[in-house]
Chain A
Amino acid sequence: MIETSRPDTRPIVEVRNVSKHFGEGETRVDALRDVSLDVRPGEVIALLGPSGSGKSTLLNVIGCITEPSEGKLTLEGDTVYDGRWLRDDLRKLRLEKIGFIFQSHNLLPFLDATDNVAIALDLAHVPRADARKRAIELLDYLEIGHRKSALPAKLSGGEAQRVAIARALANKPRIILADEPTAALDSKRAGIVMDLLRKLAREQQAAIIAVTHDEKIFDRFDRIYMLRDGRLESESAAVASA
């Protein structure tokens, strides 16, 4: 294990016995069954599993987008779900604590790269000038500063993905959830993005949970979890060596 994930550090993400089913009776689907998972600051973990095994559902539960059916969810020591949502401002909580990176970059097509990042700060009531300044810093940090005025339609897949990462990082969240962040990228760029996320996790003491199918980047994770039919089955420890 790398040094930042010492067992004595309190986890930022604590998932306890979470289950989630959709529908009832004949149409009931058990997407998550009794899942428990801890992620500590600085850790980068991967979620693997066949299609329909519940990976996205687990990310959505941690991201407070999908309400679990039972269990308990604690983010940064703050219990947000325990049989019911304990906070009524989930969107504000997402804005402050969680950064999302999507499979498709989901940038807003009518904003340029800078404003696509600045919007996240704008929503957090950061004044416009400061928001743009920080957005440009982030783009520079992700080595995409030269494309700061481009509209998403003019960006390559990898460039757009990095802008999306910049947006996810804008409010300095300590939890970053990524659903197949490298699926749209070639292996070289996928590697670059993953290295970036690792660097981030270390520097910002953030927890990163990524869904991936991409075997080429498995070595970039501290731990790899396997979801099968809603159950978090296997765990392979620290393959990462960086």
Chain B
Amino acid sequence: MNLAWRDIRHNLGRFVMTCAGLGLLLAVVMSMIGIYRGIVVDALTIARAPETDIWVVEAKSRGPFAEASRIPGDTRAAIARISGVEAAGALTYQTIEAGVRGRTARLYVIGYKQGAPGGPPVMVEGRHIARSHYELVADRSAGLEIGERIRLGRTTFEVVGLTSQQVNSGGDPAVYITLADAQKLQFDLDPAAARIQLARGGSPASRETVNTVVARLAPFADADTVAASIRQWKHLGAITQTEQEAILSQSLVDRARRQIGMFTGLLLTVSAVIIALIIYTMTMEKIRHIATLKLIGAPDSRIVGMIVQQALALGLIGFALGAALIFNIKDFFPRRVILEADNVLLLGGVVTLVCLLSSALGVRVALKADPATALGG
């Protein structure tokens, strides 16, 4: 006769409510973990999209994402000629505000050289940019549709294709335009900066700066060696893909990680305390029945089993409800919530552990219960 189950069944409504409450709490914990993973993956997505091996940036800059970087547009051609470089693309990145259907949206505009690395990755709808001007590929999260026209700076673009899940670390949807359009956009939006450059004696060609040049290497080439040789140009820096991802996860994501980590830790602690209290209360309510069981000869193992089984049932059902909930609502979050199996399973493990530890509290009281208290009188 399974006493744990019989007791639960007797108070089924209350038990289910308790599980549901715990489930909500664990759903919040899971969503925090998912939000954090989402931020990391979003940040890395943009850096992984060009499928590059080396990022050429301004000397001493850790750009183009973590720090500003500006290099001459003709750098691309020079990099492409280095031995071991298979292809090189020039890219600009700028965050702008634009009116999308009457409301202001922040867009992460990526200018790229057609036919070179750095363009939009797999399209979910429409096509790549075919003309050299006025066409645009947007991320689906921007809410734009194929054929729609949108004004950026002084130019009107037509949406020709849609990507998915391309957003920057701030969650702004990516929008791809040609490099030439992007450079014009930069100039249009910041004429003052451009004029200063002209005044410094720069030619109108200095309008042709880019933020980075990405280099894709041939299979035999070693990224570190090529990067070292690029750094010999005094005005250039080179960052390998591995380094770029490390910079992103450290500088951009690190604060989010610590912030969310703190919060998740706090939530987990609160959950642990709540689980412990629930199990303790469940045991205290039964203490007289436990004394009765001891009196009529139940061994400790039977009593411990009852408490531990109830604690585990509570934790695991709560966890399952929480997981079911979060898996069903995760796509309604404004930003990506990524639930990876190993993270979810780890949390399941933590919940199991917390249940076992907190049932220790209940078990302690139960084992100390004096069978004589069942006699009364």
List chain A positions with a Cβ less than 8 A from chain B.
Answer: 56, 59-60, 63, 65-66, 91-92, 94-96, 100, 102-104, 106, 108-111, 115, 118-120, 122-124, 128, 151, 167, 179-180, 211
Contacts and interface: CB of A to CB of B under 8 A. Distances in A.
25 contacts: A65-B295, A65-B370, A91-B298, A94-B297, A95-B296, A95-B297, A100-B295, A100-B375, A106-B289, A106-B292, A108-B3, A110-B3, A110-B9, A110-B10, A110-B11, A119-B293, A119-B296, A120-B297, A122-B1, A123-B299, A123-B302, A151-B10, A167-B296, A179-B377, A180-B377
B292 A56 contact: no
Main secondary structure of the interface of B (DSSP, over half): helix
B289 A108 contact: yes
Contacts of A94: 295-297
Interface of B: 1, 3, 6-7, 9-11, 288-289, 292-299, 302, 370-372, 374-377
A185 B268 CA distance: 51
Given A110-B9, A118-B1, A211-B377, A60 B296 contact: no
A56 B375 CA distance: 8
B295 A179 contact: no
A122 B372 CA distance: 22
Contacts of A151: 10
B372 A66 contact: yes
Nearest to B292: A106
Please provide the 3 A-B residue pairs with the shortest distance between their CB atoms, ordered closest to farther.
A95-B297, A110-B10, A110-B7
Nearest to B9: A110
B56 to A, nearest CB: 72
A94 B295 CA distance: 7
Q: Which of B293, B296, B299 has the most CB of A within 10 A?
A: B296
Contact of B10 (A92, A109, A123): A109
B290 to A, nearest CB: 10
Contact of B297 (A92, A109, A128): A92
A118 B294 CA distance: 15
Nearest to B5: A110
A179 B376 contact: yes
B1 A119 contact: yes
Nearest to B8: A110
Contact of A123 (B11, B296, B377): B296
A165 B371 CA distance: 18
Contact of A102 (B11, B299, B375): B375
